[in-house]
Amino acid sequence: MTPQKRDEILQVGALESTLATELAAKYETLSLPDGGDRAAFLAEHAATVRVIVTNGRPGVDAKLIAALPNLGAIVNNGVGYDSIDVEAARKHGVGVSNTPDVLTDTVADTALGLTLMTLRGFGSADRYVRAGRWARDGAFPYTRDLNGLQVGVLGLGRIGSAIAKRLLAFDCAIAYHNRHEIADSPYRYAASPLELAESVDVLVVAAAGGPHTEKLVSAEVLAALGPEGYLINIARGSVVDQDALIDLLASGGLAGAGLDVFVDEPNVPARLRELDNVVLLPHVGSATARTRRAMALLTLRNLESYFTSGDLVTPVLRPRK
């Protein structure tokens, strides 16, 4: 493979450390600056950039895509691509790739662990022991069994299906909502997020992010879970009405929540951090060494494939040739 020129690959945003290391070992790249330096940078380099490599944030918008006349592909290190303007990419013939499958099991494991932590109060129980309250105040309060509950999965794609499979081991009855019912699915279909929430004890959000799913889990959907219901979100913070969620958690309108994602990461509202009926994780759904390396290698495979064949290994949108 002919080595790529330094100015053909543009990094947008800070790359995950494993990917940054693997990319630096094979390529020299440019990094898109923030702020006022961007216009001067693009004036110098825009015409030579062929590929963008990104982790998702701060995103690749229509303005940036239009400013790069020879851009052919956006290679995203992650399964979610909601921060990329795919319609703008389509308009300009730019391909988009992501990293499906390699993180499915790890994220599903996170969802299961987060569900157990939330219902059983394991995080609170840990803090209870550390604060010396076991000896001082006696036994920790009773919590909720996961076994045998009705669980709704919002978004029965690869990750949602893997979550549902794990929950079957707990004898949970699974229902789901997608935009379209899945033929031959063994799980009960709910025609709307509201119908799903009304019928389950736990709602697990595994839907894709983006404008089409923003606040899909609305205040009405959250209220339908009721004071004994739980929300688990390992998808995107934007899918849930975060303010409504905080209000319900604080008022007792919802029993608890387990969150790995937030609206404005890494900024988590103080009101949410102060609640003890919510488990908060710093977006670690895929954060294991094995999974992050697999994601990085698949990202590089997409990059190398584009340079050698003009196509992508795992395209969300194929480049126009």
Backbone phi and psi for residue 293, each to the nearest 5 degrees, phi listed first: -70, -40
Give the residue among 245, 219, 216, 214 at the shortest CA–CA distance from 230.
245
Mapped to the 3 state alphabet, what secondary structure does the chain carry?
Answer: CCCCCHHHEEEECCCCHHHHHHHHHHCCCEECCCCCHHHHHHHHHHHHCCEEEECCCCCECHHHHHCCCCCCEEEECCCCCCCECHHHHHHCCCEEECCCCCCHHHHHHHHHHHHHHHHHCHHHHHHHHHCCHHHHHCCCCCCCCCCCCEEEEECCCHHHHHHHHHHHCCCCEEEEECCCCCCCCCCEECCCHHHHHHCCCEEEECCCCCHHHCCCECHHHHHHHCCCCEEEECCCHHHECHHHHHHHHHHCCCCEEEECCCCECCECCHHHHCCCCEEECCCCCCCCHHHHHHHHHHHHHHHHHHHHHCCCCCEEECCCC
Check if 45 is active-site.
no
Cβ pair 134, 184 in contact under 8 A? no
Known catalytic residue at 283:
yes
Sort 35 into a burial class: Cβ within 10 Å, 0-12 / 13-18 / 19+. Answer: exposed
Catalytic entry in 50, 283, 301, 318: 283
* Annotated active-site residue in 44, 181, 220, 265: 265
Catalytic residue status for 318? no
- Any idea which residues carry the catalytic annotation? 236, 265, 283
